[in-house]
């Protein structure tokens, strides 16, 4: 078996699977305020289709899966898909990223089906600001979802906080306190220019050095933490005496492409070697043959670029490839 290694020697064992591009929120960094043109249900990959893709990938060394959206829990019977994927030989870890709105009623069923870990998006702890950023209410339901995830036995439970200059940077200290007081891993994420044709994202972009500055100002004694399960590109820190921890994901200010080990499967059936660039391969033409599907994975390795060059966009410099026009909700993050 020839495993999935690209031209730059990076081995790939991680597949992120978007099961839908629909979402019940309209977060300003993810989707236009007016929403987006969602894929018709009959054009989404079916659970049978997704299982075929994963079986082919697993035979080539894919071990880790992450279920994403849109919001994955708007897709019916998601626990059924989790159970099917967990039984595929070679798959050892399945995680999910969710906005948490529907998680409280689904957490235990998802855990029983074989979901190992959960990441919950939460960009603010203030109800009014939640309505501003998510363009919807529901923060209490998210908080209930976090409690249910902990109660169901997920570990670690991670909170994904996209930092937005001028919108939520004043809550960094509050999120650090949350990680100190509760067994949660808070991950601060830089705002990325995914699907933005203009430079409007720059006014809200904030380098994550700000988090470290505030953590030290608050008097936390910090040590690097390497034991956070499924941490991927996150730079993790432990606060002395804390129940939880925090991490920094800085794709723009300190891009981590040299260690990239992931591919993405979009809800409408495209394999993307890189989140940022336009390149993608249609998997639907290969669904009838596992060998054809394997060859599609190899093609993804052949066209994967060395890096995403987001920092060059921030600096207003020219780029070597064409950025995607898809928004984050249409890719799966």
**204-245 residue pLDDT tens:** 888 899 999 999 999 999 999 876 665 467 899 999 999 999
Residue 199 inside a domain? The answer is: yes
Residue 7 inside a domain? The answer is: no
Query: Of the candidates 256, 173, 250, 172, which has an alpha carbon nearest to the alpha carbon of residue 207?
Result: 250
Assign residue 118 the CATH number of its domain: 3.20.20.70
d(CA 93, CA 115): 8
pTM of the model: 0.91
Residue 53 inside a domain? The answer is: yes
> What local confidence, expressed as pLDDT, does residue 200 receive?
65
322 Cβ contact list (under 8 Å, min separation 6): 277, 278
Q: Going edge to edge, which strands form the sheet with 117-121?
A: 222-224, 235-239, 245-249, 184-190, 157-163, 117-121, 93-98, 64-68, 14-18, 262-265, 270-272, 281-282
> What number of CA atoms fall less than 13 Å from residue 114's CA on the CB side?
19
Q: Which residue has the tokens 């990441």?
A: 119
- Asked if 266 and 38 touch (Cβ cutoff 8 Å), the reply is no
Residue 146 inside a domain? The answer is: yes
- Asked if 206 and 266 touch (Cβ cutoff 8 Å), the reply is no
> What local confidence, expressed as pLDDT, does residue 323 receive?
67
Prior bond of 177 cis (ω within 30°):
no
Tokens of 189: 């994420």
Query: Of the candidates 129, 103, 89, 92, which has an alpha carbon nearest to the alpha carbon of residue 14?
Result: 92
Residue 241 inside a domain? The answer is: yes
How far CA 277 is from CA of 309, 318, 327, in Å, comes to 9, 14, 12
Q: How many domains does the chain have?
A: 1
Residue 172 inside a domain? The answer is: yes
Range of the domain at 134: 14-331
Helices and strands of the chain, counted as H and E runs: 10, 12
Residue 5 inside a domain? The answer is: no
Q: Which residues of the chain fall short of a pLDDT of 70?
A: 1, 34-36, 193-200, 227-232, 253-256, 308-321, 323-330, 333
- Asked if 58 and 106 touch (Cβ cutoff 8 Å), the reply is no
> What local confidence, expressed as pLDDT, does residue 326 receive?
67
Residue 119 inside a domain? The answer is: yes
> What local confidence, expressed as pLDDT, does residue 309 receive?
58
pLDDT digits (tens, 9 = 90+) for 141-166: 999 999 999 999 999 899 999 999 99
| DSSP character at residue 289 | -
> What local confidence, expressed as pLDDT, does residue 2 receive?
77
């Amino acid at each position: 078996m020839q495993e999935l290694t690209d031209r730059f020697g990076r081995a790939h064992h991680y597949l992120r699977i978007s099961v839908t591009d629909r979402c019940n929120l309209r977060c300003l960094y993810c989707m236009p305020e007016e929403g987006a043109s969602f894929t018709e249900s009959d054009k989404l990959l079916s659970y049978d289709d997704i299982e075929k893709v994963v079986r082919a990938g697993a035979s080539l060394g894919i071990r880790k899966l992450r279920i994403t959206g849109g919001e994955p829990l708007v897709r019916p019977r998601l626990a059924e898909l989790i159970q099917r994927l967990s039984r595929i030989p070679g798959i050892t870890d399945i995680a999910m990223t969710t906005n948490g709105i529907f998680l409280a009623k689904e957490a235990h069923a998802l855990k029983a089906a074989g979901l190992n870990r959960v990441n919950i998006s939460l960009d603010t702890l203030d109800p009014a600001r939640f309505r501003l950023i998510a363009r919807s209410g529901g923060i209490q339901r998210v908080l209930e979802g976090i409690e249910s995830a902990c109660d169901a036995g997920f570990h670690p439970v991670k909170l994904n906080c996209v930092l937005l200059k001028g919108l939520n940077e004043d809550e960094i200290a509050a999120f650090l306190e949350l990680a100190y007081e509760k067994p949660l891993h808070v991950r601060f994420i830089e705002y990325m220019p995914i699907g933005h044709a203009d430079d409007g994202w720059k006014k809200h972009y904030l380098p994550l050095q700000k988090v470290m500055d505030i953590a030290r100002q608050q008097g936390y004694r910090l040590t690097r933490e390497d034991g956070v399960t499924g941490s991927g590109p996150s730079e993790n820190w432990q606060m002395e005496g804390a129940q939880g921890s925090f991490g920094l994901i800085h794709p723009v200010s300190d891009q981590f492409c040299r260690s990239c080990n992931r591919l993405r499967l979009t809800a409408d059936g495209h394999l993307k070697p890189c989140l940022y660039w336009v390149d993608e391969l249609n998997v639907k033409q290969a669904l009838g043959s596992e060998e054809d599907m394997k060859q599609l994975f190899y093609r993804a390795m052949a066209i994967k670029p060395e890096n995403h060059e987001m920092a060059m966009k921030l600096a207003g410099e020219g780029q070597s490839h064409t950025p995607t026009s898809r928004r984050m909700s249409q890719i799966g993050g």
